[in-house]
Structure formats: structure tokens, C-alpha cells
Structure 1
Amino acid sequence: MCWRQIFFSWLMCCLFPAVVSAGSMQMNPVADTLKEKPKVAAAWIDEIVAEKKEPEKEKVEYISQLTRYGFKNLFEKYSYNPGITQSAHLNPQASLFIRDYLNRHQDHLLALKDWGIQYFNLMDQILTRYGLPRELKYLAVIESNLQTSATSWAGAAGPWQFMPVTAREYGLMVNNRTDERRDYFKSTHAASRYLLNLYKQFNDWLLVIAAYNGGPGRVYEAIKKSGSRNFWELQYYLPEESRNHVKKFIATHYIMENEQAAGVAKKMYHFKPWTDGISPLNNRQQLSPEELAGAQTQTISGKFLAAVIARNVDMSLTDFNRYNPSFNEQLEQNGQFDLMLPEDKMNQFLANKYQILNESVQTMLSPEPVAPTRTVYPKKPLRKKG
């Protein structure tokens, strides 16, 4: 038996260097691929900005994987999990700002959250089309209180407070007759392209927000003087207005998204009483060839609920979930969903899409289901804070 042991020992000695070499060869392409990702994304962002139009779906999915980590300095740990309440993992350095902001502005922001639902829904859909975090809509809150008529002393205008030169650069018409900075739809598209371009430079949303307020040059200067790209370390090298702009965004983001701050008891969609006690996860029956042939698909984004769609297109929730298993979970996780419905049901959905979206949002925020015929419109805008 001894000769076998000698043979296997000799064989392992011969094979081991080859295994190590193979492992080394596998590591290099991975490292190179990771280095190439920002270059590819930067090239695509340049293309999106230059063409002044929405990017293709493939590019959106790719870019969204990079931009989702841009709030790393807002949270205490890099491994930010949207499923955990923000109070559990918010950067401790932000807590004092939030406490003060809550005391002074919570009522105003919660009222704005109510009457601004339709504006937020529109912004959510457009930001998602560019692969951007939907939380960036709160930048428009601190810029203008969502007011299209807002005009700064420096000449910035509209909900996103574009200066005329920047507005034209990103595709908006600004002249004596037309000012598209005050158009919610067009200005949000322009803001999305501008935010993407800033993110290409800084790879951190807190720095992007500072640059949105004071210009990229001042942020680069703060980075150079501080020797850091972390907002909390370079903040005092920024102008006070830009520094406070970031803190206002953090506090607004917290108040709008945190269920405790907002006083809203967030519920799991498929455990709500008006879902008839049925979980979409338990309804994965396959569709017949006839059902598939008669179905249509539409990519949607926004805060839709399965139960609300089903009720408005006259389908049982069981049938809806057969066509769209795990609808709520997948839409929440991915930001969009390929909705599948029979042709007549899809026509009903498209004809009442925005009413269904508004009802879905109200259902999430209300302790009781909202009547199907109820449509929510923005209330009279609040006066801008002095």
C-alpha cells in the first residue's frame, strides 16, 4: 500500500501549482470587469445626456445597479437594506439634524406629502426610467416645495430650480414665450439627466446634492482641501448653503420615508384584509396556452397594488395573481414590473391607470381600503416657507 501513498503524494504535488495558476487566471478577468463597469456607465451617461432622451431598458438596469449604492454615506453601514426602517441604520451624524428638522417642519412636510401625491408619482416613474433612486424626488421638495411658480433671487425656476443656462443644456426650452423649467414632466426628465451626470462625477448622492446646489466646482474644491470624498468629513469646506442643503435633504428623506416619523403604520400588502387573505406567493398556477395567447404585457412602475388593480379591472385576486405572481413583492423590489392581463382587462387598466395608481397609494397610507371610484388630486399648494 505504501507505493500508492507515494504515487498520490507525487500526483498532488504536480496538480497543486496548476490549481493555483488556474485560480489566479480566474481572478484577473473579474477584477478587470469590475474596473470596466464605471467606464461603461460613464459612457452611457454621456450618451443619455447628449441625446436628451430616455435610455434603453438594458442601460437603465445596468445604471440602477450602480446608483443604488450612492447613499452609502447617509447610512451607518455600506450594506443598506431598504427593508429595514431608516431609524435603525441612519448615519448617527445625521440624527441631530433630523431631530431639529422634525420639530420645525414635520407638519408642513406631511401636509405636502398628502397634496403632492400625484407629483411624487410622476417623479417616481421618470426617475426610475433613468435608473435613479426614487428618493431623489425629495430634492424638488427642498428646492421649491414642489411649486412650478417658484423663482429664486438668482433666476432659478420651476420645481427643480434650474438656471436658464443649465436648463437649456439639458434639453429645456427657456425664452420669452416658453419656460419648460415650470413643466413637471419635462423638467423632471432634464433633472434626471443632470443628476445622472453629477453622479458620474461623484458616485455619492450627498455630494451630488451639494453640487446641485452650489455647483460641481465647489464640491471638487472641498474634496481637494479635505482630502476626502465623504460628505461628513468635507462638509465644512463647502459653503454653508450647500452644506445645509444636504442636511435638509436628509431630514426630508427621513420624514417622508420613515413610517414612525410620518405616523403611518406600514403594512405588508398581501396581509391586508382587502386582499381576501390570499398571498400572491401561493398563487403560481401556470396559464393555459389559450390564456397566454390572449394576454398582453405592459411594463409599469409606481406604487401599484395587486388588489387595487384586480378590483378596477373586474378580476378576482386569484386570477390576477395567476397572471402576475408575486406582483407586490417584485414591484417593490425592482421598481418596475411586466404586468400581464387579458386584452380586455389590459384596456381597462390603461384607461384608468392613474386613478388606479392614486387609489393604490391611498390604500397604502390609509387604515381602511379606499373606494374604487375615488380619485386623489393635489390639494391647494401650501405657501412657500419664509
Structure 2
Amino acid sequence: MHLFRNISTLCAIALLWAPVIVRGQSSAGIPRPSATGAPRQQDTLSLPAIPKDELKGFKNLFETSTVGGVTGTRLNPMAISFVESYMRKYGKGLRDMKKWATPYFTLIDNILTQHGLPRELKYLAVIESGLRYNAISWTGAVGPWAFMPAAGRQYGLTVTNGYDERLDYYKSTHAAARMLTDLYSKYQDWLLVIAAYNCGAGNVDKAIKRSSSRDFWKLQYYLPTESMNHVKKFISTHYVFEGEGGITTVTKEETKELLLNKATALNEEELKNSTTHKITGRFHSAVILKYIEMEPASFNKYNPGFDDSISLNGTYELRLPVAQMNRFIAKRYEILDESIQRILDPSGRH
């Protein structure tokens, strides 16, 4: 999955608009380009604007940030210089993309959620292809997820001279999700997954062996330069779109630290008057709060890193005051159903 050789290509393709071929799923609601290739004015969607200068307060990335409503982790110091330069060069192009990419992101989000993957992985498609369905890299990787022919076939896509499902947004996103799932099962580290998606698991394995480390920041210089930078482009793009880092922008060990450091210690009385219940499934904290009538700050105190952790692991040891736990248990199936609907349709149109 090689990215285009020249980094400037990203900025160019980020400004292009191309129709999406989606077989097996209606493309209704996806804006069509005007004759100039840009989205028509009536097709652009109103989105919260990224600050005019996304580098304002950039120094604060060294400090703890907010991720999923709870205390997050700082940007790795080894990424600061690259991210700062990247945001200066390509921030405008990515902000422009944010104005027209919502239909694409909605499709990708839904599919990633179905596969139990973090939705932030959609930014991999941004750096692979600029979201263009017909993108072709210098290595011959094709489509929004930049599949080489062999990898496309391996993950269920038909690739022949007359028919190429790598161009199919719906099918190629499912294929990418299957590949990302396999890579995560192997590495348990999203930064290594991003690297392996670009240069192949073999090259990542060699880097691990040569560096005697599974920490991206320690093994990065044993990777192909393009792949090392690919990971940093992903982190940078995440920061441009989200304004912060997240579960997919840190190493395995940093993830553990992130989740552990989110905890605000409960006092003895709070522990005594609370109880735990192991849950499985894609519960969403906002839906739980609605049903148990609890404030977000209080819920986060009892359940640090809830949304990140359950998205990553699928299970969670939920802790709540006894009264709220009783409400949760009584309504847990309704809560789970509404949570899934919310995740599949973040706009709330379900």
C-alpha cells in the first residue's frame, strides 16, 4: 500500500472531487461534482470549522488533552516537528476536504463500526488516496484504500482486466477493514498497523527484529522512509480533523498509559457505594447517561476511558453507584440497541 512518491500529491488530490462508485449500496445523498470538479454550493455540508490557525496553542499538544470526554495523552515529542510542518503545509487542503467529505466519512464510519474498528482509521484513506475512488499510486495501488492487486484479492475483491472492485467504495472499505483487523490481531498496536498497511507486515517484522523493539518511535528508522512518514502523516491528519490525538495515534504502551492515567481516584465512600458489572458490546456512554440519569463528569470518574476502551476491546468492567447500576441492568438491552444505532448513524437520523 504505497503512498504516492511525492508528498505534495496529497494536497492536490485533497482538493479534487470525484463521484463514488458504490456497488451494493445506494449512493443517494453523496454530493455530485460540478463541471469544475468541485462540490456544488448546494451540495456542501455545514460542518464545525477548524480554527483559522490550527497551530494556535500547538504547544499544548505536549500537555494532556481531552479524548472521548476524558483525560487524554500528549503527542509524542518525536512527532511534534513533523506534525507541525504537515499542518502548516496541508491544513488548508484538509480543511477544504472536511467541507465535502462527510458522505464519504459516513460510509466509512459505518463500515469500520460494523467491523469493530475505531472510526478514526478513516484518515488512512485520506492519506492513501485523498478519498478518490479512482486514485492510482506510482506503484499501481488503486482505489480509496490503495490496494495492490494481490492484497485486494486476498481480502475478497475481484481484480481483473475488465472488473476492479478496488474502485468500489463499499466493497473496498470492507476489504480494508478486514485487513486492518488482521494487522491489529498481529501487532496489537495501531501505529504498527498503519506502517504495515503501507509497507507490508514483512517490513515491519524486520524493523522489529533489527531494533529489538515493538515501539514505533524506536523502530521507525528501520522502516522504509516512506512508511515511517506515512504513520506521521496519519497522526497529523488525525490532529487536523479531530483537533487532538486518540487511540489510533499512540503506541500499545502509550494506549495502556492513556487508559490508566484517565482514572480519577474514587474515594472510599464512592467505592463502597458502587458496584461493577462486566459488559460486552458496543455501548455508547452518551446513551448510558441518558438512561441512568448521570452527569458525564461523574460517569467518567467511575469509568475512565470508557468509549475508547470498549471500542478497542469490546468489553468493559462498568462501575456505577448502586442506584444507577440497577437502572442500567434493567435497561441494558435497550441501551445497547440505541448505542449501536447511534454509532452507525452519528447524525441521529435513526
For the aligned pair, the TM-score class normalised by the smaller chain equals: 0.5 to 0.7
Cα distance, 1:219–1:258 mapped onto 2, change above 3 Å? same
- Equivalent pairs counted in the alignment come to 218
Describe the superposition over 1:44-69 as per-residue Cα deviations: whole angstroms up to 9, x where unpaired. xxxxxxxxxxxxxxxxxxxxxxxxxx
Q: Tell me if 1:357 matches 2:347.
A: yes
CA drift at 1:85: 7.4
CA drift at 1:358: 8.5
Q: Distance in 2 between the 1:110 and 1:358 partners?
A: 24
Describe the superposition over 1:136-194 as per-residue Cα deviations: whole angstroms up to 9, x where unpaired. 11000000000001011221100000011111110111112221111111111100100
Q: Tell me if 1:135 matches 2:120.
A: yes
How do 1:105-116 and structure 2 match up within 5 A?
105-116=90-101
Describe the superposition over 1:264-294 as per-residue Cα deviations: whole angstroms up to 9, x where unpaired. xxxxxxxxxxxxxxxxxxxxxxxxxxxxxxx
How do 1:267-278 and structure 2 match up within 5 A?
none
Q: Tell me if 1:123 matches 2:113.
A: no
Q: Which residue of 2 aligns with 1:338?
A: 337
Q: Which residue of 2 aligns with 1:158?
A: 143
Q: Normalising by the residue count of structure 2, what TM-score does the alignment of the two structures yield?
A: 0.54
CA drift at 1:80: 9.1
Q: Which residue of 2 aligns with 1:263?
A: none
- Consecutive unaligned residues of structure 2, counting only runs of 5 or more, are 1-60, 246-280, 300-305, 312-334
Q: Distance in 1 between the 2:111 and 2:293 partners?
A: 24
Describe the superposition over 1:324-379 as per-residue Cα deviations: whole angstroms up to 9, x where unpaired. 6779979x946795239xxxxx9xx9xxx97x93989xxxxxxxxxxxxxxxxxxx
Q: Distance in 1 between the 2:294 and 2:336 partners?
A: 7
Higher relative contact order (CA 8 A, sep 6+): 2
What stretches of structure 1 move > 6 A for 4+ residues in a row?
A: 75-80, 299-302, 324-330
Q: Distance in 2 between the 1:253 and 1:85 partners?
A: 17
* Equivalent position SS for 1:90: coil
How do 1:150-299 and structure 2 match up within 5 A?
150-258=135-243
Q: Distance in 2 between the 1:301 and 1:245 partners?
A: 32
User: Given residue 189 of structure 1, which amino acid in structure 2 is its aligned partner?
Assistant: H
Which is richer in helix? 1
CA drift at 1:259: 6.9
How do 1:61-72 and structure 2 match up within 5 A?
none
* Equivalent position SS for 1:157: coil
Do 2:129 and 2:144's aligned partners in 1 also have CA atoms closer than 8 Å?
A: yes
Q: Distance in 2 between the 1:139 and 1:177 partners?
A: 27
User: Given residue 83 of structure 1, which amino acid in structure 2 is its aligned partner?
Assistant: G
Describe the superposition over 1:57-107 as per-residue Cα deviations: whole angstroms up to 9, x where unpaired. xxxxxxxxxxxxxxxxxx989999532576x62222221111111110001
User: Given residue 338 of structure 2, which amino acid in structure 1 is its aligned partner?
Assistant: L
Q: Which residue of 1 aligns with 2:88?
A: 103
Cα distance, 1:195–1:108 mapped onto 2, change above 3 Å? same
User: Given residue 119 of structure 1, which amino acid in structure 2 is its aligned partner?
Assistant: Y
User: Given residue 347 of structure 2, which amino acid in structure 1 is its aligned partner?
Assistant: L
Do 2:65 and 2:71's aligned partners in 1 also have CA atoms closer than 8 Å?
A: no
Q: Distance in 2 between the 1:193 and 1:131 partners?
A: 10
Q: Which residue of 2 aligns with 1:82?
A: 68
* Equivalent position SS for 2:137: coil
Question: What value does the CA root-mean-square deviation take over the aligned residues?
Answer: 3.9
Do 2:65 and 2:74's aligned partners in 1 also have CA atoms closer than 8 Å?
A: no
Please tell me whether Structure 1 or Structure 2 has the larger radius of gyration of its CA atoms.
1
Cα distance, 1:124–1:85 mapped onto 2, change above 3 Å? farther
User: Given residue 135 of structure 1, which amino acid in structure 2 is its aligned partner?
Assistant: E
User: Given residue 156 of structure 1, which amino acid in structure 2 is its aligned partner?
Assistant: A
* Equivalent position SS for 1:338: helix
Do 1:118 and 1:358's aligned partners in 2 also have CA atoms closer than 8 Å?
A: no
Q: Distance in 2 between the 1:259 and 1:215 partners?
A: 27
Cα distance, 1:236–1:161 mapped onto 2, change above 3 Å? same
Q: Distance in 1 between the 2:134 and 2:75 partners?
A: 34
CA drift at 1:301: 10
Q: Distance in 1 between the 2:71 and 2:80 partners?
A: 14
User: Given residue 217 of structure 2, which amino acid in structure 1 is its aligned partner?
Assistant: W
Mean Cα deviation higher: 91-100 or 183-192:
91-100
Q: Which residue of 2 aligns with 1:11?
A: none
Q: Which residue of 1 aligns with 2:16?
A: none
